[in-house]
A and B are shown apart, each in its own frame.
Chain A
Amino acid sequence: MKTKDKIHTLALLGIMVAAAFILSYLESLLPSISGIPGVKAGLANIPTLLVLYAHGPSGAALVSVARIILAGLTFNGLSAMLFSLAGAAVSLIFMTILKKIGTFSITAVSVTGGVCHNIGQLAASSVMIGMPILYYLPVLIISGAVSGALVGVITTLTLKHLRPSITVG
């Protein structure tokens, strides 16, 4: 491994954590459209998905966890942080498997990620509050799929444009 590549990786992950943090912050400023916690645009997941494709699952996990801890400690709150971590873990596992299979587009992988994120989050909050909140499930599946599609399309476009600058060798 060339030193140049190591520096390049570090810089990429650093920039992506920063971008994810800022997107998290912007998202927390947006008013909740539906009044249901967990329904949001998911813009903060763009850097995670980008790193998943430009680097790999380990980098994506790092960006995701760093972003959630930073956002949790600064503005999202600790309980939201725990729910997000559960959602991120579930979604990253499923996205990694689908990416590994290799026959799906980035958009479809992202849709899976969005749905899994919301289901993981709902499961975590059910365990914490002590009862299943089935009431939210259909809404969270729809919102996860829509935001996942949005994130997937934006990530694909970003990767197309960034390809020359984040490719080494």
Chain B
Amino acid sequence: MTPWGQGKRKHFLVGVHNITKGFSMAFFKKHDLIIYALVLILLVCSFFLWGSALGATGDYAVISVNGHEEARLPLSSDAEEVIEGFAGLTCRILIKDGAASVIEADCPDKLCVGHSPISRSGDSIVCLPARITVTILGTEDSEVDGVAR
């Protein structure tokens, strides 16, 4: 098997499709287990990473647009704030009963509105189209290390 496809080749749009050579049509081969094991290890590692990022109940909801902090609301008092993000898209953020949620947004997908309220340190809601993030931080967290502890 030649490394870049099959047969002789002069230009990337030019090639002999001899797909009967070079690979097998089996759904499973013995070596696949290596790949599946690696994916499983990666998954377990990501769960540990996830677990360490989620701490106890947080104290503040930090709202950022494009990575810049726009507002910092204490979770202890109920509040409502409208944040304008990228391309003029806005999110209405509600703090109620110690949890933050996005209750209204004019982004096209509304995934941020569908997200359940967050209250634990490290939790976040992201509105990708508006580039708005709502992240919960504890009092002991510094501004930068809130999530990447």
Give the interface of A toward B (CB within 8 A).
Answer: 1, 5-6, 8-10, 12-13, 32, 35-37, 53-59, 62, 77, 79-80, 98-100, 102-109, 111-112, 115, 125, 128-135, 137-138, 141-142, 145, 152-153, 156, 159-160, 163, 166-169
- Interface residues contributed by chain B, number (CB under 8 Å): 59
For the residues of A in contact with B, the DSSP-based class is: helix
**Cα A62 to Cα B5 with chains together (Å):** 14
Q: Do A169 and B13 contact each other (CB < 8 Å), given the known contacts A32-B109, A107-B32, A134-B147?
A: no
B43-A141 in contact (CB<8A): yes
**Cα A5 to Cα B10 with chains together (Å):** 12
**Stretch binding the partner chain, chosen from B71-79, B92-100, B127-135:** B127-135
Q: Do A111 and B19 contact each other (CB < 8 Å), given the known contacts A105-B26, A134-B147, A135-B123?
A: no
For the residues of B in contact with A, the DSSP-based class is: loop
Give the interface of B toward A (CB within 8 A).
Answer: 1, 3-6, 8-20, 22-29, 31-32, 35-36, 39, 42-43, 46-47, 49-50, 53-54, 64, 66-68, 108-109, 111, 114-115, 122-124, 126, 128-129, 131, 133, 135, 147-148
**Cα A100 to Cα B36 with chains together (Å):** 18
B4-A58 in contact (CB<8A): yes
Query: Which of chain A's residues have a CB closer than 8 A to the CB of B122?
Result: 135
Q: Do A77 and B108 contact each other (CB < 8 Å), given the known contacts A5-B16, A133-B126?
A: yes
Q: How far is the CB of A144 from chain B (nearest CB, A)?
A: 9
Query: Which of chain A's residues have a CB closer than 8 A to the CB of B20?
Result: 163, 167
Nearest residue, chain A, Cβ from B108: A77
A105-B131 in contact (CB<8A): no
